Chains A and B, each alone.
Chain A
């Protein structure tokens, strides 16, 4: 098991593919007979390790390192999020030949959204965790670790107990994200949300501060088969603050998709 805050790259069988001149690493893990494939795209800073640990019990999980993220070299070639997503879609096609569920968090969710728009026939279900494509909160970059923690957490004091990420990696990733998004609303992504054909779950922390509160409803309004979920008492980094709730909701959705709204817990106390 891994702790909240560890990168996805912490476990699994490592391999790589070559796409668009990038050497893209990925890690595969799962049971001998998986019931399906799940592709996970990390965002900056904290990852989805606990969610991966849960999903590998049933699924073949492929954690894909975005070019310019993690230990990969700085990405100076991708010129837009759609272009980066196209690269990732090609890489995914080499690793997972058929259909898969796609999960992304934060900037990784923005890439996942565009990947789904570009490869709609291969993505069976889409899970966007705290995406920042729609209505990101404008403002200067956080200048201190304390300010960063206040923006990312409902309870900033929890940031201290998490696995730390190399500041150089954070700076490299931050520069790429800033160059590709400018911290701006992605109007083109919003316009095309209606083209997403698969079941889609979008999750936000109830104390999310990186995007406007109105963002969630836009996804729900525009994506035909979508659900939005609020994870109580969590900020942008949901896994860090409410890992059990995130794992519960996403695991249910990956298995059940839009039927995850059907209650399955027993109310029996003394049978």
Chain B
């Protein structure tokens, strides 16, 4: 059994260990595709590890897709340790798919240097509490329900996650811009190519959360800077 030598295997204890940031990190460091292969559902040594893994990879794929990566570059598959042939087939198919796409930035929505910037933002967003907590609650909300006993369907959970992804990416994009120097909402909007009212809304929300503060007023527009966040 032969398979391509272009891959690099990273061994983990369980697909549940695949943190969403790991995937983003791989792309930031120049990987052209990431494939997660784990045990079949029901075969998990940790009972639900692979279910968690699928959700985490799914989330990472959505965030990366949202910032401009071709979703075909991320894959989640299942293959037991006894299914060597299946593994070879999966690897070969994925490898062929990536070869068709070419290197990072060629069949994606953004070309390379910009894409990397966005991937960095995605990595930050994936590493923050919001998305991680919602992902952690995913199975609980779908099976046991929330504190009010409301159960959500998978479809609804993903839809809610999608809106959170949009919010988070926009938020960390803005914070990424503000890291360098303070700026008015209009300038940030121009640099990020976003509608100014949209940016203002996120900036105000950040201010409310105590992450951004007023730096000064420039003509008619207020200038914002990052606030020093004290531990609660």
> Do A and B interact with each other, yes or no?
no
- What is the interface of chain B, defined by CB distance below 8 A to chain A? none
- What is the interface of chain A, defined by CB distance below 8 A to chain B? none
